[in-house]
Amino acid sequence: MSADLKKILECCHHDPFSYLGVHFSQPTVDRVTIRTFQPHASRVSLLLSNDTFPMGKTAPEGIFELVLEKTQLSDPDLSPFNYQYEIEYESGVSLRINDPYRFPVLLGEMDRYLFNAGRNYKLYHHFGCHPCTVEHVSGCLFRVWAPNSMAVSVIGDFNGWDGRVHQMRSLGISGVWELFIPNIHENERYRYHIRTGSGAVLEKSDPFQFYGELRPANASITRKLDCYQWKDQHWQQQKKTSFPYTSPISIYELHPGSWRRDPNNHERFLTFRELASELIPYVKELGFTHVELMPVMEHPLDESWGYQVTGPFSITSRYGTPEDFMFFVDSCHQNNIGVILDWVPAHFPKDPHSLGRFDGTPLYEHEDERKGSHPDWGTFIYNYGRNEVSNYLIANALFWLDVYHIDGLRVDAVASMLYLDYSRQDGEWIPNQYGGRENLEAIEFIRHLNSILYDFYPDSLLIAEESTSFPGVSKPADKGGLGFGFKWDMGWMNDTLSYFSKDPLYRKFHHGQLTFSMMYAYTENFILPLSHDEVVHGKRSLLEKMPGDEWQQFANLRLLFFSQWMHPGKKLLFMGENSASDLNGTVNRALTGTWSRQTSFTVSYSIL
């Protein structure tokens, strides 16, 4: 058995193109050898122009080979690259396929260089799976970054999940692997079969998958994203002439899976199309200018808000298809409602099919646990100092603004990114190069991120959930700030809720909690959040936080909303709080509440 065949059979060939496909004799090009690996075939023939050449089985494992002299070709000038295989199986089924090992390298050197330099901002056009046509042949082009792997294969329904069949080509020091597989279409399941440097085998979902299987399954699915016909041109033109810092902004924050469900089956989530028909009239009636969706990227658990993202480029399949989400965004825009997404670059989960130890080494995360693992959430932390990882995250943020027409991103858990000692005890963190606690790599990444997003989409809303007093969060990056457009005012939220939760008899001793926020109200571009964070983990709803009997609680809650609306800053309210619903942080059921009190309270709220 040859060394090449052994590597093919063990799924560890670093350059399968050197063995499979077309090979000319050297130094004279008067003979061509064509070789294919078809482990389940009983007979293989080469179809070249009008000629058919039976191929010999040179290895019982499934290697078929043919050597042709130039004089054997009916057209001596015919390029031998344009050929097909006719494959017969023992079952009697036969089919014609194109050889994936006859196509050239398709990712240009400049794109590879920019990726490794952290400057290829629209990576989603190049990486992942793209149904396309190459040399008049339709199929899917796959690319993945796995620099420390011995070999990478594409596995799926189309090859029986056999890692030997479609082994990818390594593009050298870029760490990128590429393969165009003909005759694959949309809605095919696939994964990457990765042979690590130590010889272990990993099966990973595509880091750039545009769509994935419904949980608990986790295979990626081939998908095109350019078929939807957008009708939000008026909204897009209107955005260019608006100025968000002086325009009224009121944001309705919601979790799509628990805002409302199928009334006939409370276990079934609404699709994005169904959500559009119910949510948009509701939000318009209340007068909100934007909706903010808690993470709609793919994540494994229904019993979560969605912040454990396993597919940053994939809309979660639990609410429908990419086109369903495009319809939702488009419908919002046609009704003059902006759409903001929660975006999570601070950490990612340790699920084995996800990004963690992607090629058998710490690739997207830090190698040192003191920088690469989050103690609160049991997740990995992105390595912001690595060019390719920074590029991946920036491209991901740009992807949602570009492909899905999203109007803004609320960046989750910024404080955990800014400080190396966040939630860590002495000895559990590594100081920066100056001996400080600031994460200089994360700060540089955030500035880079915001600069690029505003370069491409200057009218977007970039919002930081930052809970410390880090200076200049909403100050432009070129002036020394982090470059966000807005920052959540967590200080106002904590002080105000503390004040309103007190019995009115004692509030006169705590008026400072109501007035202190004005001391810094104009130091940042603030959003005043009454968000999901105030009801999670049994914290109770805003209504339940108010003192007194039910009548007094409603009166206090109306006063709280009035105080929020009169205070400088944009406004944000979590779903259900406007109607006194009994959510209490539960994500596995829809909003509930006494209808009569919801009705009376919602009307009162809409007057504010």
C-alpha to C-alpha distances, 262 to 19, 319, 474, nearest whole angstrom = 55, 12, 40
Q: How far apart are alpha carbons 590 and 355 in whole angstroms?
A: 31
DSSP for 361-421, written as a single string = S-SSB-SSHHHHEETTTTEE-B-TTSHHHHHHHHHHHHHHHHHS---EEEETTHHHHHBTT
Which class for 286: exposed (0-12), middle (13-18), buried (19 or more C-beta within 10 A)? Answer: middle
Q: Catalytic: which of 178, 298, 412, 495?
A: 412
Clarify whether 77 is annotated catalytic: no
**Helix ranges (DSSP H) in 233-386:** 233-241, 256-259, 272-286, 322-334, 369-372
Q: 372, 439 in Cβ contact below 8 A?
A: no
- In degrees to the nearest 10, what's the CA dihedral of 217, 218, 219, 222? 110
Q: How far apart are alpha carbons 20 and 14 in whole angstroms?
A: 12
The sheet carrying 21-24 orders its strands as 21-24, 31-37, 63-69, 56-59
Secondary structure class of 90 (helix, strand, coil) = coil
Helical (H) or strand (E) element with 450: helix 440-456
What tokens were used for 574? 């979590």
Q: Catalytic: which of 465, 489, 495, 534?
A: 465
C-alpha to C-alpha distances, 167 to 18, 160, 171, nearest whole angstrom = 12, 14, 13
Q: How far apart are alpha carbons 86 and 368 in whole angstroms?
A: 52
Q: How far apart are alpha carbons 567 and 608 in whole angstroms?
A: 13
Clarify whether 465 is annotated catalytic: yes
Which amino acids are annotated catalytic? 412, 465
